[in-house]
Amino acid sequence: MANQQLNSGNPRVDIEYRRKKNAEEMRYQLVSFALMIFLTLIAFSAVYIKGFTAWFTVPFIILLAVVQVIFQLYYFMHMSHKGHEAPSLFLYSGVLVGAVTILAFTTIIWW
Amino acid sequence: MHADEKFTYETWPAAPEKSTLESKNKFLGFWFFLGGETVLFASLFATYLALKDKVPSTTHHLAKDLFELPLTFVATMLLLTSSLTSVYAMYHMKNFAFKKMMVWLGLTALLGAGFLGLEVYEFTLYVHEGHTFTSSAFGSAFYTLVGFHGGHVAFGLLWCLTLMIRNSKRGLDLYNAPKFYVFSLYWHFIDVVWVFIFTVVYLMGMVG
């Protein structure tokens, strides 16, 4: 992956390789940005065009949000890189506790 | 490698955010903090979902009467773009291009300020329509969730400006590179939270 040190023994080659790796990663990030904008546009249009029922729109836009957040986490926040085992553990533990909280508040609590 | 070592483009490490013991700890600690932030925001989302449209009488506004698509859309685009500009800043950080990194960080701060301005404008509109923090349970839950996020943006803005001013003459080294990196993680996380806010609060609010 792009964040790994490469040692070919020739510093010139190493720098050239790293520069290319960084540029390549930047391209991936631009692609994920384009996809994120695209997903946002779809979500807003799904609400703007009033033809769909809430039963379809709500799960659909939540799914779009989840996909967009995965792009944000794995590309913008580099979770796809090596050495992110502990961050994954921390984040997913948080997600687990958060999901249980939301489930409880939306199902077994009422006013 | 030491925190106060001088570097050139040739000697700059491939992962400057994790090249010293301090920065490794900082990286780990910051992700632990983000795990906690996830729980914090999830509880605020849970509260909002439970109290959405819970108003004492029919004279109060509900979510579908309040929210406007164009305003939310512009705010979303501003914050999403600021996420990309901070990616560019980190790209230049990895290439040891200090000035370029500073320019992109400046753009990030500018977009963040734009977002914050819009949010203040939006809250003022709602208050004038009678939707306040104390007007209903819905109002309290709404301002707590969205306001907490706005507070995070304001904090991030100050963080970014402080880093830029504090390190303006220092150039890049292993002392400040991890600081810039951790800030960019924080900024992306704010955007992650906003993705759920515009979906759950605004879009779902307009659906009904």
On whether any CB of chain A is under 8 Å from the CB of B13, the answer is: yes
A94, B36: Cβ pair inside 8 Å? Answer: yes
Rounded mean pLDDT of A23-41?
95
The predicted pLDDT at position A105 comes to 94
Rounded mean pLDDT of B164-170?
96
Rounded mean pLDDT of B127-144?
96
Structural contact between residues B72 and B196, judged by C-beta atoms closer than 8 angstroms: no
On whether any CB of chain A is under 8 Å from the CB of B207, the answer is: yes
pTM of this prediction?
0.93
Q: If you compute the radius of gyration of chain B from its CA atoms, what whole number of angstroms results?
A: 20
Domains located in chain B, CATH noted: 17-54+63-207 (1.20.120.80)
User: Chain B partners of A30 at a C-beta cutoff of 8 Å?
Assistant: 84
The predicted pLDDT at position A4 comes to 52
- Using 50, 70 and 90 to split pLDDT, how confident is the model at B81? very high
Hey, which residues 92-151 in chain B have their CB within 8 Å of chain A?
Answer: 94-95, 137
The token pair that represents B182 in the structure block: 């951790």
pLDDT tens per residue across span A40-74: 999 999 999 988 899 999 999 999 999 999 999 99
d(CA A61, CA B127): 28
Rounded mean pLDDT of B179-194?
97
The predicted pLDDT at position B2 comes to 77
Q: What's chain A's average pLDDT?
A: 89
| Domain extents in chain A | 1-80, 83-111
On whether any CB of chain A is under 8 Å from the CB of B32, the answer is: yes
Q: Which residue of B has its CA nearest to A33?
A: B84
Residue (of B90, B86, B98, B87) closest to B172 by Cα position: B98
When CB atoms are compared, the residue of B28, B188, B199 closest to A43 is B199
User: Chain B partners of A3 at a C-beta cutoff of 8 Å?
Assistant: 14-15, 18
Rounded mean pLDDT of A82-99?
96
CA distances from B139 to B56, B60, B108, B129, B197 (A): 11, 10, 30, 12, 15
Q: Is the pLDDT of residue B151 over 80?
A: yes
Q: Is the pLDDT of residue A10 over 80?
A: no
Which residue did the predictor score with more confidence, A12 or B144? Answer: B144
Provide the shortest C-alpha distance from residue B49 to chain A (in Å): 7
pLDDT tens per residue across span B63-80: 999 999 999 999 999 999
